[in-house]
A and B are shown apart, each in its own frame.
Chain A
Amino acid sequence: MKEIEERLNEEKQRMAVMTAPADFENRLRTALDATPARKTKRRNPFIMMAAVSVLCFLLISYNYNAFAYYGKKIFGFEEIMTGTMKDLNDKGMGQIIDKKTTLSDGTVLTIDGIMTDANQLVMYYTLSNPKGVGELWGDVFNPDKITGFFTNARAGGGMAKVNDSGTEIKGTTYFDPVSPFSKKLTLHFWQGIKNGEGSITFPYDPNKAMQTQIKQSIKEKVKVDKGTITFKTITATPTSTVIEGKMDVDNFDRIHFGFEGVKLIANGKSIDNLGSGVSGSKFDLRFDGLPQELYSLELAFNEFVGYQKLAEQIPLNDDTHHDLEGKDLWVKKVTTTERGVEITIETDENLLLDGVSIQSDDKVTALKTTIGQRLDKKTDRFTSERTMVFDTNSMPEYLLIKGIHYVKKYNQKIEIPVD
């Protein structure tokens, strides 16, 4: 009789070489695709509390002034500041914090300063360790969120730079805006490879927050092929400009294009896009700060996802080019394998075929799955090559396509009145 552990060990070896079955990905993807798209609604549990506190606030008539600012300049971050942030810093719009804490690996974290307004909080920090801070500062220090009174601001992006000797990192992190009712803020972060939690609390003076320049409603609707987009408000602060709205567009996520084709034009010049976020039906587009002297402001709705209905019946041959209402489709290879019939095609990166099936004689087989997508950089654009798999063995004569999702030019302009 063998020892128990030995036998358990043998079983362990057997398990260790066990791999997931070949159809693992397929089955899980099918299950996932059958799940209706999740509509995330971010409810703010603090809204009622905030409303009540505003009332209290008025009652006790606390003399609060968020619009005056007596800031300071934060030194040492010139290299990682964008143009707008640099200008603001030069004007002394920051708040010096200068609070230190030591992380689990001995690195000293200093919160040098912050800049706040109604759109965001920007934190400036330094990590220093004479033994070296490591190349991946993300392992040492990972900002998570800032909390405080009525505040739960999640970290967004950031920038950081390591000095030449590798002992110091200077970085910025962007957070959601913090409440003007907070007098103290706590930064929560992850540290070390094991992701231990850590936090540091520092005082905050909301009176030093920067003034909002413009906050007004837009209330303009744009109709697209598969729904509508409503631009609701614009909030411009010295550090950034945020446009918020709602959309109801069925095929929004069919291609990875998002809001790239929507530009903000001030005084005839395009404002840098800082990113966009979509949460369920709500979206926000972030742009850089607006120029101080503002004559005109408009939103250029140039391109967005569109849908074109087709009734194509394409004869199948290797290496052929076809025209889908002005869009290119290359059929590269048609083969039969143990998976079934495989057709390799290439199109523009942001084009997705809809209602695809193949036909041989009178038999029509719908698309089973698409595999092996590969992006390719052509001289003027990206293309996508992928292989469509059909669950049949008979060599098809035609490829049937009922429609395409693609980047469509809408070229609409929405003027935003400025005073």
Chain B
Amino acid sequence: MKFLEKKILIKTLIIFAIYFSYTVIVSSLLGVFNLNDQIYNLFIADLIFFFGMICAYKNKIKDDYHEFLNKYKLKEKILIIFKWVLLLFIFNLIMGFLTEIFLPSAADGIDDNVNALKSLFGVSTMYTIFKAMLFAPIVEELLFRESISECINNKIVFMITTSLIYAIMNTIYGDMSKTYMILDFISYFLFYLILSGLYLKYNKNIVIIMFIKFFYNLIPLTILLLGV
């Protein structure tokens, strides 16, 4: 393994280690100063990690943004994002119908990740908006897609690995004993597989995926804000 490849691999593993520990570290540090509001501490921790990730990948974000800006005309840009947001939306709807057809007993169940987000929304609207519109499209894409893509060159293996990790992350904090968890896992896996395919289709341009995820998240967040 070349020195550069080793360096990239170590960078990715360190970023993952930080991702799984930063909330505890920041909360503990804030606790020393008697700041014990959990949501407030999480917000600060996420903000620190958010800016850290942007600094770590600033060149990649800048390059991809300029490529997206210059390579496509305005109409093409809008069309790319609108088309894929719509297709992903339809895909998710189909997955919802399939879940009900194949597992009717799961109809009353609520996805635990969605539940967590709804609870978060009840506690802090601002934090939920930040989490859904900035943290998820930017940080999660950099962490789960960009960093892994730098380590794994094989396209198929990359698509499967990143989708697998994403699906694990979206379901593992839930109640694994619930029957519909496997269906949620498959839904998330296929959804992220499509996004990984798009990432490769658009020449590993992470900014396009960030925009697609941003506008996709805008739909359920608007529904949540309107209280429909």
User: Is the pairing of A and B real?
Assistant: no
Q: Which residues of A contact B (CB under 8 A)?
A: none
Q: Which residues of B contact A (CB under 8 A)?
A: none
